[in-house]
């Protein structure tokens, strides 16, 4: 009897070990993939990075010089997209989570949002071209690009914001309403502040996506080359993802500009991480303040 | 006795969708007394409490029939704003639920939104409310600290102070001590006896001894019906209905 128990224990122990190994390995694989990616980009791109690279426009048919207009363009487009999508997304999420009576209509809206999230980004690009650039006659410019990107990231922001609003304990709402505070004031004063960290998470994801997409801005905002910095939202800009795409595929000096390409990629990754970092710092600061 | 009632219920039915949670409730709540509502889980006593301050409005698909007259006005008549009702009828919940704000801001949250702005008024109100809730001495030096740092019993008294700050006439308490230890419970019960002098209190409780200790009137609910409603002394000594006796002596529920 004892023997039987011992063997089964050894077998159980063995199974446990195998299982844990698989789990650990999977986690390590992901970390390794991310680490490898960043390592590879830094390895190839760091040599291109210099003060001039970051502050000068490209020269000599984009084979030399810097990428400053593209950095600035991506910054403008991303900030513009967030500035439009965040308020709109949060307000929509408030409607869906707090006001809308759950029924067919709301289900339809939700299906719509989910579909929107699954649409390929090039479709957004074509939509932007058709609607903002041509129909509204904004032309190819920062405004069109930012609005197209805003539509692209809207589902992400709505989804994350709705989840954040729903995760606010119902007891907070009840406590506030029971004091004779109106529903709107309750949402504004109690629910929104508590949901803000989660809403910020949504915007972080949105920022990453807006900054990195090529297809939506290709037809709506991005210039192949312009040394001139934009003077208004109706000007075309260069943008990092499109610049990379151009250098890596469309130029005649693809091989010679490899290091510039990697450098640009490094800057793009750095930029996205930088913006994310700001949001993460704000979020953790808020979480510390609003713990329940 | 009739002339002294503050809330009168007349033939009140309440539905969650199709299912009826309260059946034909007619009862009066007397001013400046503590009324206890007892009964097994799911008997409708908490539902009744939430009907009184229209908290059930928040749940989709609920419906109220009958009249609930509070200070001469039917709280469910179309021209009554539930926000006004809730300012007059405060509520304390089962689990302490302070806001993730400072102690000071917990108390001043609702009065500020109702239009009280002057700092000196607010400071006076905080001291007054916390004193009424028997919490002032414990927190007067830490008013800026988060309410989340308080113990459960202190949090519950803060919630009472928060309700008192709106100067309600009635305070509804939904099992206010069921999440608290015996010492905190005793403090809240003492507090209720003190508050009774200026407020009307309606308390839902699962604790028979608590009902017997604090209340002067007790209503026994079963399956959405008010089975018996009388003075607490009578309910706990010689109830008229067999069901009440069975419940109180612990034979069911």
CATH number at residue B29: 3.40.50.300
Q: Are residues A144 and A257 in the same domain?
A: yes
- Tell whether A105 is within 8 A of chain B (Cβ): no
CA distances from A118 to A164, A200, A219, A270, A282 (A): 21, 21, 20, 27, 29
Nearest to A178 among B53, B146, B148 (CB): B53
Quote the percentage of chain B above a pLDDT of 90: 75
Instruction: Please give the pLDDT value at position B122.
Output: 94
Interface touch A177/B86, C-beta < 8 Å: yes
Q: Which residue has the higher pLDDT, A128 or A1?
A: A128
All residues of chain B having their beta carbon less than 8 Å from the beta carbon of residue A290 are 100
Domain that holds residue B31: 2-98+170-248
Quote the percentage of chain B above a pLDDT of 70: 98
A contact test, residue of B53, B88, B90, B91 with most A CBs within 10 A: B91
Q: Is pLDDT at A252 greater than 80 in this prediction?
A: no
Q: Are residues A41 and A115 in the same domain?
A: no
0.90 exceeded by pTM: no
Nearest to B84 among A171, A180, A291 (CB): A180
Instruction: Please give the pLDDT value at position A1.
Output: 53
Domain membership of residue B127 (yes or no) is: no
Structure tokens at A94: 């408030």
All residues of chain B having their beta carbon less than 8 Å from the beta carbon of residue A176 are 99, 109-110
Averaged pLDDT for residues A219-241: 78
Interface touch B166/A189, C-beta < 8 Å: no
All residues of chain B having their beta carbon less than 8 Å from the beta carbon of residue A182 are 83, 113
Count of Cβ atoms closer than 10 Å to residue A268 Cβ: 23
Domain membership of residue B147 (yes or no) is: no
Strand partners, B172: B91, B202
CA distances from B28 to A157, B39, B193, B202, B206 (A): 51, 18, 20, 11, 21
Averaged pLDDT for residues A102-110: 86
Instruction: Please give the pLDDT value at position B215.
Output: 94
Domain membership of residue B136 (yes or no) is: no
Interface touch B114/A171, C-beta < 8 Å: no
Give the pLDDT band (50/70/90) at residue A290. low
Instruction: Work out the minimum CA distance from B110 to partner chain A, whole angstroms.
Output: 6
Interface touch A179/B162, C-beta < 8 Å: yes
Instruction: Please give the pLDDT value at position B1.
Output: 44
Q: Are residues A208 and A107 in the same domain?
A: yes
Q: Is pLDDT at B50 greater than 90 in this prediction?
A: yes
All residues of chain A having their beta carbon less than 8 Å from the beta carbon of residue B91 are 178
A contact test, residue of B55, B80, B93, B99 with most A CBs within 10 A: B99
Averaged pLDDT for residues A135-148: 89
Number of A–B residue contacts, CB under 8 Å = 68
Q: Are residues A75 and A206 in the same domain?
A: yes
Q: Is pLDDT at A292 greater than 60 in this prediction?
A: no
Give the pLDDT band (50/70/90) at residue B130. very high
Q: Are residues A199 and A281 in the same domain?
A: yes
Q: Which residue has the higher pLDDT, A112 or A224?
A: A112
Instruction: Work out the minimum CA distance from A169 to partner chain B, whole angstroms.
Output: 10
Give the pLDDT band (50/70/90) at residue A254. confident
- Tell whether B100 is within 8 A of chain A (Cβ): yes
Interface touch A179/B110, C-beta < 8 Å: yes
Instruction: Work out the minimum CA distance from B162 to partner chain A, whole angstroms.
Output: 8
Provide the domain count of chain B.
1
Q: Is pLDDT at B186 greater than 50 in this prediction?
A: yes
Provide the domain count of chain A.
2
Q: Are residues A32 and A90 in the same domain?
A: no
CA dihedral A215, A217, A219, A222 (to 10 degrees): -130
Residue (of B214, B117, B107, B217) closest to B167 by Cα position:
B107
Residue (of A139, A121, A284) closest to A211 by Cα position:
A121
All residues of chain B having their beta carbon less than 8 Å from the beta carbon of residue A289 are 100
Question: CA B18 to CA B62: how far, in whole Å?
Answer: 9
Q: Which residue has the higher pLDDT, A285 or B177?
A: B177
List A residues 151-190 in contact with B (Cβ-Cβ < 8 A): 169, 171-182, 185, 189-190
Averaged pLDDT for residues B220-224: 92
Q: Is pLDDT at A19 greater than 60 in this prediction?
A: yes
Domain boundary among A33, A48, A63: A48
Instruction: Judge whether A274 and A178 are in contact, CB under 8 Å.
Output: no
Instruction: Please give the pLDDT value at position B120.
Output: 92
Structure tokens at A268: 């793009």
Q: Which residue has the higher pLDDT, A278 or B11?
A: B11
Domain membership of residue B210 (yes or no) is: yes
CATH number at residue A142: 1.10.3720.10
Interface touch A177/B84, C-beta < 8 Å: no
Burial A8-40 (b: 16+ CB within 10 A, else e): eeeeeeeeeeeeeeeeeeeeeeeeeeeeeeeee
All residues of chain A having their beta carbon less than 8 Å from the beta carbon of residue B97 are 169, 171-172, 174-175
Q: Are residues A95 and A66 in the same domain?
A: yes
Q: Is pLDDT at B153 greater than 80 in this prediction?
A: yes
Instruction: Work out the minimum CA distance from A197 to partner chain B, whole angstroms.
Output: 14
Question: CA B216 to CA B218: how far, in whole Å?
Answer: 7
Instruction: Please give the pLDDT value at position A239.
Output: 84
Q: In the predicted model, what is the mean pLDDT of chain A? A: 86
Q: Are residues A18 and A89 in the same domain?
A: no
Instruction: Judge whether A212 and A268 are in contact, CB under 8 Å.
Output: yes
Question: CA A22 to CA B111: how far, in whole Å?
Answer: 57
Q: Are residues A39 and A126 in the same domain?
A: no
Instruction: Please provide the DSSP assignment of B90-127 as one string.
Output: EEE-SS----SSBHHHHHHHHHHHTT---HHHHHHHHH
Interface touch B113/A185, C-beta < 8 Å: yes
Size of chain A in residues:
292
Instruction: Judge whether B99 and B110 are in contact, CB under 8 Å.
Output: no
Q: Are residues A156 and A106 in the same domain?
A: yes
Q: For residue A131, what are the contacts with CB-CB under 8 A and spacing of at least 6?
A: none
B contact test, residue of A98, A100, A173, A178 with most B CBs within 10 A: A178
Domain that holds residue A17: 2-48
All residues of chain A having their beta carbon less than 8 Å from the beta carbon of residue B107 are none
Give the pLDDT band (50/70/90) at residue A2. low
Instruction: Please give the pLDDT value at position B94.
Output: 92
- Tell whether A104 is within 8 A of chain B (Cβ): no
Q: Are residues A172 and A129 in the same domain?
A: yes
Q: Using alpha carbons only, how large is chain B's radius of gyration in Å?
A: 18
Domain membership of residue B57 (yes or no) is: yes
Instruction: Please give the pLDDT value at position A3.
Output: 65
pLDDT in tens, A40-57: 999 988 888 888 888 777
Give the pLDDT band (50/70/90) at residue B250. confident
């Amino acid at each position: 009897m004892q023997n039987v128990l011992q063997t089964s224990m050894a077998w159980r122990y063995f199974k446990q070990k195998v299982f844990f190994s698989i789990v650990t390995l999977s986690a390590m694989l992901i970390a390794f993939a991310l680490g490898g990616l960043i390592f590879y980009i830094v390895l190839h791109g760091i040599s291109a990075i210099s003060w001039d690279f970051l502050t000068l426009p490209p020269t000599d048919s984009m084979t030399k010089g810097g990428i400053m207009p593209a950095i600035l363009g991506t910054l403008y487009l991303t900030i513009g997209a967030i500035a439009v999508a965040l308020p709109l997304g949060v307000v929509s999420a408030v409607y869906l989570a707090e006001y809308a009576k759950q029924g067919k209509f709301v289900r339809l809206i939700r299906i719509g949002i989910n579909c929107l999230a699954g649409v390929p980004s090039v479709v957004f690009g074509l939509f932007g071209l058709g609607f903002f650039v041509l129909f509204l006659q904004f032309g190819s410019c920062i405004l069109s690009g930012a609005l197209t990107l805003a539509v692209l990231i809207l589902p992400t922001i709505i989804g994350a914001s709705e989840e954040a609003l729903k995760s606010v304990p119902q007891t907070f709402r009840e406590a506030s309403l029971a004091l004779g505070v109106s529903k709107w004031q309750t949402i504004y004063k109690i629910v929104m502040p508590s949901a803000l960290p989660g809403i910020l998470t949504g915007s972080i994801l949105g920022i990453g996506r807006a900054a990195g997409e090529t297809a939506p801005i290709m037809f709506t905002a991005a210039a192949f080359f312009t040394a001139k910095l934009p003077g208004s939202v109706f000007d075309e800009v260069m943008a990092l993802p499109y610049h990379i795409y151009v250098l890596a595929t469309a130029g005649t000096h693809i091989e010679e500009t490899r290091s510039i390409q990697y450098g640009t990629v490094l800057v793009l990754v750095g930029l996205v991480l930088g913006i994310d970092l700001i949001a993460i710092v704000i979020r953790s600061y808020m979480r510390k303040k609003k713990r329940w | 006795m009739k002339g002294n009632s503050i809330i009168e219920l007349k033939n009140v039915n309440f539905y969650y969708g199709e299912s009826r949670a309260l059946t034909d409730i007619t009862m009066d709540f007397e001013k400046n007394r503590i009324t206890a509502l007892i009964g097994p889980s799911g008997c409708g006593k908490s539902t009744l409490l939430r009907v009184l301050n229209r908290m059930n409005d928040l749940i989709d698909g609920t419906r109220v029939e009958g009249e609930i007259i509070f200070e001469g006005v039917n709280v469910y008549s179309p021209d009554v704003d539930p926000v006004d009702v809730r300012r007059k009828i405060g509520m304390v919940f089962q689990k302490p639920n302070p806001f993730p704000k400072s102690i000071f801001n917990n108390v001043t949250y609702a009065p500020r939104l109702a239009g009280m702005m002057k700092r000196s008024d607010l400071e006076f109100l905080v001291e007054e409310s916390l004193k009424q809730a028997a919490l002032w001495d414990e927190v007067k030096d830490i008013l800026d600290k988060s309410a989340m740092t308080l113990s459960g019993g202190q949090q519950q008294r803060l919630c009472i102070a928060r309700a008192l700050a709106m100067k309600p006439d009635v305070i509804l308490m939904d099992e206010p001590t069921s999440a608290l230890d015996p010492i905190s419970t005793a403090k809240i019960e003492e507090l209720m006896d003190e508050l009774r002098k200026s407020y009307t209190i309606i308390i839902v409780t699962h604790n028979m001894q608590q009902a017997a200790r604090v209340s002067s009137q007790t209503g026994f609910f079963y399956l959405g019906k008010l089975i018996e409603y009388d003075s607490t002394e009578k309910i706990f000594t010689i109830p008229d209905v067999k069901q009440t006796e069975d419940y109180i002596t612990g034979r069911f529920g």
